[in-house]
Structure 1
Amino acid sequence: MQTPQNIDNLITLVLILAPLFIGFALPLNRTLVQLSERLLGYLVYIILTLIGIELAQVEGLGSQIASIALYVTVLSVLTIGGGLAGLMVFDRMVPWSPPGKQSVTKHKVSVRGSLIQVSCVLIGFVIGQFLPASFMPPGNTMTGLLMLLILLVGIGLKASGITLKEVLLSKRGMQTSVIFTLAVLMGGIIFWLIFDEVSLPQSLALASGFGWYSLSAIVMTDAYGAVWGSVALFNDLVREFFALLFIPFFMRKTPSAAVGLGGATSLDFTLPVIQQSGGLGVVPLAISFGFIINIVAPVLMVVFSSFG
């Protein structure tokens, strides 16, 4: 017999997955794809600003800043380091080189996008300090934005031109995804062992963002409050910074590890870096890996967070 909590968890999972499949099912045209890409960019900024506003409402936040910084630092080291170590071992045991000649183009690292995202949170925090309670967003605002975000991601995944069959038939992509997921979750388990105040399901949920900061921030805020939502957000943003800087370095000898550094962003934000440092031959692996991780991340976060 299902309890009300189980039913709520099932509803949450449906609210996340249904828009994704709707996005896949929609007949696409160039106008819709361009519109969805533009809306997705604006939506991410809106969501991050709202997260900043919610963070400003947390009582005694100043006394928790040091703890948040500690959580983010440890979680980032464990999740990024765990995934990287696991895939480096995989590359060593099962060597793989991208077909074709690797690019020697020097990539100019740009963290401008990441800085803008952090700025949105800070702007939201400042707004939240002065916003009257009567002007606060309704309680279900984040849920609505989350559904719209997932819908737009679904449209983007379909527009990428790759089918689910092609993804699942990519043996290297599947192997990389499984090893990455298990290694990062192992980092979450170690995080739980270090901090007594964090439950195992919570640690695993925090680790399951896989670089998808806008999604993890919403889900963790809804499940555990704005403080933990901010931990998830900055943990995934740190992954983005690290990936931009170090993908070219790891691509030389461990291409699977380099692709895995980007996590969910390997399908979009860090894909140009992957292509420029590894050549066109590595792009199918990045798309297959990123596609699978974009499907797995929301499921794991909701499932783990439903256990407390």
Structure 2
Amino acid sequence: MFSGMLFIFAPLVIGYLFSISRIEVLDKINQATSWLIYVILFLMGLSLAALEDFGSNLKIIVTMTVTFFVIISLCNLLCLPLIDRFLPLESEKKSSNLPLSRMALESLKLIIVVGSGLAAGLLLPLGLAWVEVASEWILFVLLFFIGIQLRNSGLSLKQILVNKQGMAIASLIIISSLIGGLLAAWALDIPAYQGLAMASGFGWYSLAGILMGDAFGPVFGGASFMIELLRELVALVFIPLFIQKKPSTAIGYAGATAMDFTLPVIQSTGGVKCVPVAIVSGFILSLLVPVLMLFFVSLGS
């Protein structure tokens, strides 16, 4: 594992310093990021295969996933309606023509990648001592590219600060998720800093799983990946059902994915007025995922 928080956080900060105007370069960076995510998730599967007593560890992963997902979701959904009540956002009456099943299948591809790595590690006579080091260096490059993506997302600080709903949604998601993380840590009898770190994924399943796996091992990494992937899959169903009456709640539950993966669903079912709110809230949460996770991880070192 890397020696400390700053060494892992450095490539994200360095990447954020790069302002790139050429679309073709950004497209190549986005494509490279996608491929690196697939590679590192495959390596996560290999890491799971290297665990001793895999059956017992799989039970722990499922237990952690269900506990964190249920508690954090309940905390989010209890708080988000406050924004709809006191800082209402108008949505348009629209119906979605998006193939939600196809979007869900895109998410499920990532489960297949992890599963493929797990199957390869269990069935093939592979030496897996190299997996941890390889994952760390790929993570280093991945964070650098993610920093570039965040810098070139098109949002200025002024655009973020003047969007009250977006900032309010992000703030409530952060606060309620961290409360949920503490409650889940208490329920599972694990240290509070681990619960807070696990609760800081905000729907960014690929990065959350990678960071938690690097910090606490493949059990935590696998559980974090599944927690955040479940959030996205539930959000795909939740958004069209509730965005007309509770737009801020629907946008907020999507977490960090509101600025990318679930944004088409938000736009098609809630209208264009929901788009800037979703982008701002999603951007803030995306920016804070590595910051908060690495901070809470550092508390245990």
User: Normalising to structure 2: TM-score of the pair?
Assistant: 0.92
Structure 2: gaps of 5 or more residues: none
- The change in CA–CA distance for 1:102 and 1:150 in structure 2 (over 3 A counts) is farther
Q: Counterpart of 1:269 in structure 2: which amino acid? A: F
User: Which residue in the other structure is 1:192 paired with?
Assistant: 185
Task: Decide whether the 8 Å contact of 2:181 with 2:199 is kept in 1.
Answer: yes
| Partner SS for 2:89 | coil
Does residue 38 (structure 1) correspond to residue 38 (structure 2)? The answer is no
* Residue in structure 2 matching 1:12, options 5, 8, 17: 8
Name the aligned partner's letter for residue 299 of structure 1: V
| 1:95 shift after superposition | 2.1
> 1:210-247 CA deviation, whole Å, 9 max, x = no partner?
11111111211122111111010100110111011111
Instruction: Identify which of 95, 104, 122 aligns with 2:95.
Output: 104
Using a 3 Å threshold, how does the CA distance of structure 1 residues 55 and 134 change in structure 2: closer, same or farther? closer
Alignment of 1:233 with 2:225, yes or no, is yes
Q: Is the 8 A contact 2:89 2:247 kept in 1?
A: yes
CA distance in 2, matches of 1:67, 1:154: 33
TM-score calculated relative to the size of structure 1: 0.90
Q: Does 1:49 align with 2:42?
A: yes
In 2, the alpha carbon distance for the partners of 1:146 and 1:204 equals 21
More deviation, 243-252/167-176: 167-176
Q: What's the % identity of the aligned pairs? A: 35
C-alpha offsets along residues 6-58 of structure 1, whole Å, 9 cap, x if unaligned?
x8233333244333x13xx2322121122122222222211211100111001
Q: For the Cα contact (< 8 Å) 2:150–2:287, is it kept in 1?
A: no
Change (3 A) 1:47 1:138: closer
**In structure 2, which of residues 32, 54, 66 is the aligned counterpart of residue 61 of structure 1?**
54
User: Which of 259, 271, 278 is matched with 1:267 structurally?
Assistant: 259
Which of 110, 113, 117 is matched with 1:120 structurally? 113
Aligned residue identity for 2:202:
F
Q: Which letter does structure 1 place at the counterpart of 2:294?
A: V
Deviation (angstroms), 1:129: 1.8
CA contact (8 A) 1:16 1:146 kept: no
Q: In the TM superposition, what are the counterparts of 1:76-155 in structure 2 within 5 Å?
A: 76-98=69-91, 101-110=92-101, 111-132=104-125, 134=127, 136-137=129-130, 139-155=132-148
Aligned-partner Cα distance in 2 for 1:135–1:229:
17
Matched ranges for 1:296-307 at <5 A: 296-307=288-299
Q: CA deviation at 1:96?
A: 2.2
- Residue identity opposite 1:9 in structure 2: M
The gaps in structure 1 that reach 5 residues or longer are none
8 A contact 1:107–1:277 mirrored in 2? no
Distance (whole Å) between structure 1 residues aligned to residue 63 and residue 119 of structure 2:
23
1:155–1:16 Cα change, 3 Å? closer
Distance 2:48 2:100 in 1: 30
1:280 counterpart (246, 261, 272): 272
Pair 1:158–1:299, CA change in 2 (3 A) = closer
Contact 1:184 1:207 (C-alpha < 8 Å) held by counterparts = yes
RMSD: 2.0
Q: 1:210 aligns with which of 202, 223, 240?
A: 202
